[in-house]
A and B are shown apart, each in its own frame.
Chain A
Amino acid sequence: MAKLPTPQELVASRPDFPEQDWLDVKPQFTPGSYCYPAKKETMELLHMPNPHDWDPAAEDWNLPEDWEKILCDAFAERLEKHRSLKLFMDICVRCGACADKCHFFLGTNDPKNMPVLRAELLRSLYRRDYTMLGKILGKKVGARGWDKDVVKELFYYAYQCTECRRCSLFCPYGIDTAEITAIVRELLHEVGLGIHWIMDPVKNCSFTGNHLGIQPHSFVEIVEMLADDCETITGIRPKTPFNEKGHEILFITPSGDVFADPGIYTFMGYLMLFHELDLDYTFSTYASEGGNFGSFTTFNMAKKLNAKMYAEAERLGAKWILGGECGHMWRVINQYMATYNGPAPSCMMDVPTSPITGTKFTNAAATKMVHITEFTADLIKHNKLNLDPSRNDHIITTFHDSCNPARGMGLLEEPRYVLKAVCNNFVEMPENTIREQTFCCGAGSGLNTEEIMELRMRSGMPRGNALRYVQEKYGVNHMACVCAIDRATLPPLANYWAPGVTVSGLHELVANALVMKGECKRTMDLRQEDLPNVEPDETETQVEGQ
């Protein structure tokens, strides 16, 4: 990986707008500006159309013979299938309200990263074939035909959009560039163009149950190890039920949390919480992936990966599904799951109900899927947890709203409610960077890959700046989040923009504060680092006293 410029250099090095009209500028595929292409074998295995070897930096992308026809037909088909697409192609007034709302634009100053121009890349093609004026006047009114450079340009900018929907919040007509990006990615897949970082997890998830390709026995092994760690810390070994039938709840969370630091601590948090509640639940190794990289590929692939959840709930006879902390997972669950694969299996209960408090989650009546922070917030409200927030006194935390739970779900207050109950020191980042206006971590929608690290730091600039602000002003040294991708992407971001800030999931902090029945005296947090305010043992004090 190339050495990163300093933050100041990075900001200073954002180029001016090009002199030429945007229709005449071509993207430069320099290393670091694009993600590696998906492997041909992967695409074949997944039955994706037109799998082939290609290199983004090469002149020729080895597109299939009749690529233009494929793309034109695919575009026509999408227009027939999605009213949103037709509408978004037609009604943008180019008012520019969305322009500086995109983190990619702010970080790169590349005009085509303004949501409006990102959409114009496709709209210009639409104009030629679907509007009267475009047909007659062509380029004069911003219409153009397909050519291979256009395909390259679409690829370049469809993978510089994290589908965060921030632009859609500000657009007077709600034009959602994420929707357009998703459809452009679909189109590109028709001619065999995809990226490795997305397609590899898709393949793994298809055939082994999770993105990382962890096989069932290894999955169990890792979770057992995490349970051992819990025991080291608390003296209690939480139970780890797998693939067991007849439990009330099926728990599904992103597999990243089983595998990677700091997600594993969040996972340990779940284990401890469920053990303490004596929750009647099970994990599944088959549906061991909450996330859905398929949703960064095509709608159908998202549906396919998501289908396992209901199938497994039905097989195991679960009454409802509890979902872990994840961003894009919840976009899929909240807005697509019931449509894709519903109605939910008939064995599930009418309205998911917390067995501990009796609260009915009526907002999840159709999908039967409850978010873990909704579940935990309800527990805390009903005083079902014995919490000692002072165990988190060594941190001053802020909270990062992930794009999808924020703008695709509205999960804003629940995590804050939980966070405030388990941490004494909580500071919000500036107003325009949180809640529904939150900024992306810069690497969502499958762009959390190493080869574009500088680009990620650029797109992470708005988040990084906001974090730095509270770090300098209020001494914030921690950022909590409810997203597994964030837990992977925010640590390098924090390291770069606000060194010294650690990142964790919410339930790591919950478990730190959770006083379990019969636990030993806690001296370590979940990361096995010393807890603050731990009084030395009495004997020692006495010795000192004498």
Chain B
Amino acid sequence: MFASLLVVAIIGAIAWAGSAVGLGVLFGVVLPYVAVAAFFVGVIWRMVYWAKSPVPFAIPTTGGQERSLDFIKQAKWDCPTTTFGVVRRMFLEVVFFRSLFRNTCADVREFDEVNNGPRTIYFSSKWLWVFSLLFHYCFLLVFIRHFRFFMDPVCPVITWIETIDGIMQVGAPRFFWTGGLLLCALLFLLARRAFNQRLRYISLPNDYFPLFLLIGIVGTGICLRYFDKTDIAQVKVFIMGLVHFAPVSADGINALFFVHLTLVSVLLLYFPFSKLMHMAGIFFSPTRNLPCNTREVRHVNPWNPPKQFYTYAEYEDAFRDAMADAGLPLEKQPEKAAE
């Protein structure tokens, strides 16, 4: 955990120092280009890697009643049999984190009045769901809001999102809710890992690192906006330069901006090689993206090995006499077989 924190801090420090000694071009131009390229190439490379392996078996998790008899109501959302149903199921997973919504927390009690003995009770537990959704959506909105730096003129949708986001009109510059909530959600996810015994036990540096990285990004972002204010106009000119592949001088832009930009670049670089690929992976998940109609439509396995089994003929050969004695019908009567 602290190792991950340290790594993020060091990355930040290097970026700070680098831009301070005039390496702004490296951190502001070269690194972002490399990172964006690596991100796209990496994500596609990983998806191709997955796609190269076939899906030999149709193994959807049936999350509800199958389609069988007319008078029994199928759970169309959780046990879909049609393509539309599968799309709906995937939509729910991706947009609303359907499966996580089911989450429960089991409490194992040594003694309980009703059971007059041990009992396990399951409480609905939606915190992870709430904060995961909060995190992802705030992240998405913050991401979209950033397009005002990448576009000229700014698309009205983005302006509209900004207006909504800053609707409470708190402070100047106006406080954006998504930024603050994003930080809260991240802190919650971090606290879970740090304080929940089970989570702490399973967590690896690979889990803390993206969290600290994101906290770093959000933290520096918030600072840039509200505290160590940058010259937005100048930043925009700089970014538009990047977008049009005609980088302009970064002189005069805050060092903190380079820290922010560097951390984002590191996130992009890290993304394809890490668990963050769950973004693309969820669409490939065979327990979710296949229809639950496996008895109705045959799924084909491209490497299906040839059939090899103990045939009836071999079986009858082994047991013919006993079967005849028991009066079982036979393909070959014992006399015939003896010939």
A362 adjacent to chain B (CB < 8 Å): yes
Given A83-B50, A106-B120, A369 and B198 contact (CB-CB distance below 8 Å)? no
Indicate if the CB atoms of B305 and A303 lie closer than 8 Å. yes
Question: Of B103, B196, B281, B303, which one neighbours A173 at CB under 8 angstroms?
Answer: B281
The residue from A312, A437, A461 contacting B120, defined by CB atoms under 8 A apart: A461
B69 touches A100 (CB 8 A): no
Whether a CB of chain B sits under 8 angstroms from the CB of A248 is: no
Known contacts: A133-B274, A165-B61. The answer to whether A365 contacts B296 by CB under 8 A is yes
List chain A residues, Cβ under 8 A from B104.
Answer: 100-101, 170, 432
B contact residues, total (Cβ < 8 Å): 107
Residues of chain B within 8 A of A172, CB atoms compared: 93, 97, 99-100, 132, 278, 282
Q: In the complex, what residues of B have CB within 8 A of residue A374's CB?
A: 68-69
- By beta carbon, the residue of chain B nearest A220 is B326
Interface residues of A in 98-113 (CB under 8 A from B): 99-101, 106, 111
Tell me the smallest distance from the CB of B44 to a CB of chain A, in Å: 14
CB contacts (< 8 Å) of B303 on chain A: these are 81
The verdict on B65 contacting chain A, using a C-beta distance below 8 Å, is yes
Residues of B contacting A114 in the complex (Cβ-Cβ under 8 angstroms): 198, 202
Query: CB within 8 Å of A: which of B19-68?
Result: 46, 49-68
Tell whether B298 is near chain A: CB-to-CB under 8 Å.
yes
Bits for B66-91, please: 1 = Cβ < 8 Å to A, else 0. 11110111010011010000000000
The contact string, 1 if C-beta is below 8 Å from chain B, for chain A 81-106, is: 11111110011111111011100001
A12 within 8 A of B: yes
Q: Which partner residue on chain B sits nearest A11 by CB separation? A: B118
Q: Which residue of B lies closest to A17 (CB)?
A: B201
- Give every chain B residue within 8 A of A80 (Cβ-Cβ): 52-53
- Among A99, A304, A364, A461, which residue has its beta carbon within 8 angstroms of that of B118? A461
Say whether B277 faces chain A, with CB atoms less than 8 Å apart: yes
Q: Given B119, B204, B309, which contacts A469 in the complex, CB threshold below 8 Å? A: B119
Alpha-carbon distance between A260 and B70 when the two chains are bound, in angstroms? 35
The residue that B59 contacts in the complex, of A170, A335, A436, with Cβ under 8 A, is A335
Interface of B is mostly: loop
Q: Once the chains are docked, how many angstroms separate the CA of A303 from the CA of B301? A: 12
B335 within 8 A of A: no
Closest residue of chain B to A285 (Cβ to Cβ) is: B328
B69 contacts across to A, CB distance below 8 A: 359, 374, 377-378, 381, 414
CB <8 Å contact, A140 and B319: no
CB within 8 Å for A304 and B308 given contacts A83-B55, A141-B204, A473-B114:
yes
Query: Is there contact, CB below 8 Å, between B287 and A100?
Result: no
List B contacts of A146 (CB < 8 A).
none
Instruction: Please report which residues of chain B, range 282-336, place their CB below 8 angstroms from some CB of chain A when the two chains form the complex.
Output: 282, 284-288, 292-301, 303-305, 307-312, 315-316, 318-319, 322-323, 325-329
* CB closest chain-B residue, reference A464: B118
B305 and A8 within 8 A (CB): no
Contact B281 A339 (CB under 8 A): no
Return the contact of B328 from the options A10, A220, A333, A472 (Cβ within 8 A).
Answer: A220
- B110 pairs with A8, CB closer than 8 A: yes
- Asked whether any CB of chain B lies closer than 8 Å to the CB of A253, the reply is no
- Which of A243, A339, A472 contacts B300 (CB under 8 A)? A339
Contact A363 B281 (CB under 8 A): no
A339 touches B309 (CB 8 A): no
Is B180 in contact with chain A by the CB < 8 A criterion? no
Q: Which of A403-411, A508-516, A528-536 contacts B (4 or more CB under 8 A)?
A: A403-411
Residues from chain B with a CB closer than 8 A to the CB of A299 are 56-57
B108 interface contact, C-beta 8 A? yes
Chain A, 1-43, contact with B by CB distance < 8 Å: what is the 0/1 string?
A: 0000001101110100100001000000000000000000000
What's the Cα separation between A481 and B110 when bound, in Å?
27
Check: B105 CB closer than 8 A to any chain A CB. Answer: yes
In chain B, residues 98-133, which have Cβ atoms closer than 8 Å to a Cβ of chain A? 99-100, 102-106, 108-111, 114-120, 122, 128, 132
Interchain CB contact (< 8 A) of B315 among A100, A286, A333? A286
Is A176 engaged at the interface, CB distance under 8 Å to the other chain? yes
Asked whether B234 is an interface residue with its Cβ less than 8 Å from the other chain, the reply is no
Q: Are A111 and B304 in contact (CB under 8 A)?
A: no
Contact B50 A411, beta carbon cutoff 8 Å: no
| Contact between A311 and B54, CB atoms less than 8 A apart | no
Chain A residues, Cβ within 8 Å of B132: 95, 172
Q: Is B207 an interface residue (CB 8 A)?
A: yes
A343 to chain B, nearest CB (A): 6
Inter-chain contact A174/B62, CB cutoff 8 Å: no
CB-contact partner of A96 in B115, B196, B310, under 8 A: B196
The answer, yes or no, to whether A412 is at the interface (CB within 8 Å) is: yes
Interface residues of A in 263-312 (CB under 8 A from B): 285-286, 299-300, 303-305, 307-308, 311-312
Which are the 7 A-B pairs with shortest beta-carbon distances?
A: A410-B66, A91-B281, A174-B287, A410-B62, A217-B326, A432-B122, A338-B298
8 contacts between A and B (CB under 8 A): A82-B54, A91-B285, A96-B128, A111-B201, A141-B206, A171-B99, A363-B67, A472-B114
A111-B198, A172-B100, A469-B119 given; name 20 further pairs at CB < 8 Å: A7-B118, A10-B118, A14-B108, A92-B275, A100-B104, A106-B108, A111-B201, A116-B202, A170-B103, A173-B281, A173-B282, A176-B61, A208-B315, A308-B312, A339-B56, A410-B79, A414-B68, A417-B72, A436-B63, A466-B120
